């Protein structure tokens, strides 16, 4: 039996009437002979409401509890959709993330997929179930706690299921009837595209086009999942919407297909940053550990002897979601407090080295020459593959060196190691 994945966004399931309308579309696909996996978002506005409650309760919230609260929106929609389909005599059952299970990493509020075992759902299909209604946006951590995938995670859930189950296609139902050359709400000249390549869609999504979430397009491109974007408010057929597919399926395309812009993004600029190896890692490693989604990064040309700053300094600018500004600010303030603490004057340093500096030098002496090379590149922000290429060794060997470095330097995290390298002092965990 061919299988189809259908995903309905928040506006498509905003109330009971719209859930019924979406259910009718699912029923038509069942009548065409498909087994269907339906991925649903929370009702329009519910996720924002739940997030608002969390942020009002705890501005710097525990991400595990955030997930426990925010994931509930999709559970409600999944149950209502399954009930609606049952009333239409369509054998349907709702599934929460832990029931599938949707296995993810333990990075709460921004988890990544690990795998989606097919056994449980395939068994129910074999027993006569025609529609599995799965709550999008959520998964299960290795510790058995609910996780969420970040905003727009329901799109990614749909693509992941299509890849895991070998679906014929993944249909994304939303409030627009396809992918347009630009936002039709801004200009009347916007034109709907019949087809668009994965690479082009990824570019548009990464630059602010909201019709598809970036991660979902990346996943679709990786596993060659054919996506179709179409409206849940119009009658549709096999030619409706916009097909997002491999470039080989498009005979001819234009050089420029669309224009995108982004909303709700904040720009953060760090001024007079020392321009030396390790600084970028000292900035972005703490942000990554704090779960801040950094998008665009811009670094100015460095200036020497700027005002009263010795050496070269530069400005570093990055963007992140508006609602993560407070978290980013806190992470950077903590990094600055720990990594750029006040040190003895140069005169004092010449006569007496601090115990912390001596301890750092002692740990540094434990490293082999090769480990020192790897550590310098790691601190400078290089990736394993780049380090391997630069040093003429395999990425696996780089991983082994990094593990030994962390052990010998007694650094529990990469951020910890970077702070020590930048300050030249031991920093206790």
Give the 3-state DSSP-derived string for the chain, with helices as H, strands as E and coil as C: CCEEEEEECHHHHCCHHHHHHHHHHHHHHHHCCCEEEEEECCCCCHHHHHHHHHHHHCCCCCHHHHHHHHCHHHHHHHHHHHHHHHHCCCCEEEECCCCCCCEECCCCCCCCEEECCCHHHHHHHHCCCCEEEEECCEEECCCCCEEECCCCHHHHHHHHHHHHHCCCEEEEEECCCCCECCCCCCCCCCCECCEEEHHHHHHHHHCCCCCCCHHHHHHHHHHCCCEEEEECCCCCCCCCCEEEECHHHCCCCCCCCCCCCCCCEEEEEEEEEECCCCHHHHHHHHHHHCCCCCCCEEECCCEECCCCCCCEEEEEEEEEEHHHHHHHHHHHHHHHHHHCCCCCCHHHHHHCCCHHHHHHHHHHCCCCHHHHHHHHHHHCCCCHHHHHHHHCCCHHHHHHHHHHHHHHCCCCCHHHHHHHHHHCCCCCC
> What CA–CA distance (Å, rounded) separates 73 from 316?
38
Could you tell me the pLDDT band of residue 364, with boundaries at 50, 70 and 90? confident
Q: Which of 104, 120, 40, 13 is nearest to 67 (CA)?
A: 104
- Rounded (5°) CA angle 104-100-69: 60
- Indicate whether 311 pLDDT > 80: no
Contact 147, 67 (CB under 8 A): yes
For the cut 70, the answer to whether the pLDDT of residue 351 exceeds it is no
Rounded-to-integer distance, Cα 100 and Cα 312, Å: 54
pLDDT at 302 over 70: yes
pLDDT exceeds cutoff 60 at 98 = yes
Average pLDDT over residues 61-87: 94
Q: Please tell me whether the peptide bond between 101 and the residue prior to it is cis, using omega within 30 degrees of 0.
A: yes
From the options 3.30.420.40, 3.40.50.970, 1.10.10.10, 1.10.3720.10, give the CATH code of 344-429: 1.10.10.10
Q: Whole-number mean pLDDT of the chain?
A: 84
Lowest mean pLDDT among 81-90, 130-139, 161-170, 347-356: 347-356
Question: Which residues on adjacent β-strands are paired with residue 92?
Answer: 131
Closest by alpha carbon to 410, among 364, 371, 345? Answer: 364
147-161, 189-203, 250-264: segment of lowest average pLDDT:
250-264
pLDDT per position as a tens digit, 181-201: 776 666 777 788 888 888 888
Tell me the pairing of strands 297-299 and 265-274: unpaired
Hey, what are 342's tokens? 């006040």
Q: Higher confidence at residue 91 or residue 257?
A: 91
Q: What's the rounded mean pLDDT across residues 367-386?
A: 82
Does the structure show a pLDDT above 70 at 352?
no
pLDDT over threshold 90, residue 340: no
pLDDT at 252: 53
pLDDT average, residue stretch 208-237: 83
Among 129, 99, 92, 135, smallest CA distance to 117 is for 99
Contact 40, 76 (CB under 8 A): no
The share of the chain scoring above pLDDT 90, in percent, equals: 34
Q: Identify the pLDDT of residue 345.
A: 45
Question: What pLDDT score does 207 carry?
Answer: 56
Which is higher by pLDDT, 73 or 412? 73
* Range with lowest mean pLDDT among 164-168, 310-314, 360-364, 373-377: 310-314
248 has a pLDDT exceeding 90: no
Count of Cβ atoms closer than 10 Å to residue 274 Cβ: 16
The values of phi and psi at residue 265, to 5°, are -115, 140
Residue range 3-249, CATH number? 3.40.1160.10
Q: Domain-by-domain residue ranges, the chain? A: 3-249, 264-340, 344-429
pLDDT of res. 43: 94
pLDDT band at 216 (very low <50, low <70, confident <90, very high): confident
Of 208-217, 287-296, 396-405, 415-424, the poorest mean pLDDT is in: 208-217
Q: Which two three-digit tokens encode residue 306?
A: 């700027």
pLDDT class of 251 with cuts at 50, 70, 90:
low
Q: Which two tokens stand for residue 374?
A: 């790897």
- Structure confidence at residue 1 (pLDDT): 75
Q: What is the pLDDT of residues 23-67, one digit of tens each?
A: 999 999 999 999 999 999 999 989 889 989 998 998 888 889 999
Let me know if domain 264-340 sits in CATH 3.30.70.260: yes
Determine contact, residues 96/75, Cβ cutoff 8 Å: yes
Overall average pLDDT of the 352-380 stretch: 80
């Amino acid at each position: 039996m061919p299988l189809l994945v259908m995903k309905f966004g928040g506006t498509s399931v905003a109330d009971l009437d719209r859930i019924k309308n979406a259910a009718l579309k699912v029923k038509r696909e069942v009548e065409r002979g498909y087994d269907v996996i339906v991925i649903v978002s929370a009702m329009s506005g519910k996720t924002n409401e739940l997030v608002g409650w969390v942020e009002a309760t705890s501005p710097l919230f525990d991400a595990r509890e955030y997930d426990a609260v925010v994931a509930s929106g999709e559970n409600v929609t999944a149950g209502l959709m399954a009930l609606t389909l049952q009333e239409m005599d369509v054998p349907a059952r709702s599934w929460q993330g832990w029931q599938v299970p949707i296995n993810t990493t333990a990075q709460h509020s921004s988890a990544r997929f690990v795998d989606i075992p097919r056994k449980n759902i395939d068994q129910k299909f074999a027993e006569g179930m025609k529609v599995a209604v799965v709550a999008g946006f959520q998964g299960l951590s290795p510790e058995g706690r609910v996780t969420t995938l970040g905003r727009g995670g329901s799109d990614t859930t749909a693509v992941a299921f299509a890849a895991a189950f070998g679906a014929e296609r993944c249909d994304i139902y939303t409030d627009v009837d396809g992918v347009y050359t630009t936002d039709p709400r801004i200009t009347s000249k916007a034109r709907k595209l019949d087809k668009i390549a994965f690479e082009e869609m990824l570019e548009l999504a990464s630059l602010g086009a909201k019709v598809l979430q970036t991660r979902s397009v990346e996943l679709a491109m990786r596993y060659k999942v054919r996506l179709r974007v179409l409206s849940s408010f119009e009658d549709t057929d096999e030619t409706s919407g916009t097909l997002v597919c491999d470039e080989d399926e498009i005979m001819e395309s234009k050089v420029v297909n669309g224009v995108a812009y982004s909303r709700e993004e904040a720009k953060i600029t760090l001024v007079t940053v020392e321009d030396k190896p390790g600084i970028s890692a000292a900035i972005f490693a703490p942000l990554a550990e704090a779960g801040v989604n950094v998008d665009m990064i811009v670094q100015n040309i460095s200036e020497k002897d700027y005002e009263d700053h010795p050496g070269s300094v530069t400005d570093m600018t990055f963007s992140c979601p508006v609602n993560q500004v407070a978290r980013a600010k806190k992470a950077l303030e903590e990094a600055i407090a720990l990594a750029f603490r006040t040190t003895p004057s140069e005169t004092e340093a010449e006569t007496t080295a601090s115990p912390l500096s001596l301890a750092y030098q002692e740990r540094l002496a434990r490293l082999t020459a090769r480990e020192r090379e790897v550590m310098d590149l790691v601190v400078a922000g290089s990736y394993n593959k780049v380090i391997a290429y630069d040093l003429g060794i395999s990425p696996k060997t780089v991983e082994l060196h990094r593990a030994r470095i962390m052990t010998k330097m007694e650094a529990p995290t990469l951020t910890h190691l970077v702070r020590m390298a930048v300050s030249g002092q031991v920093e206790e965990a």
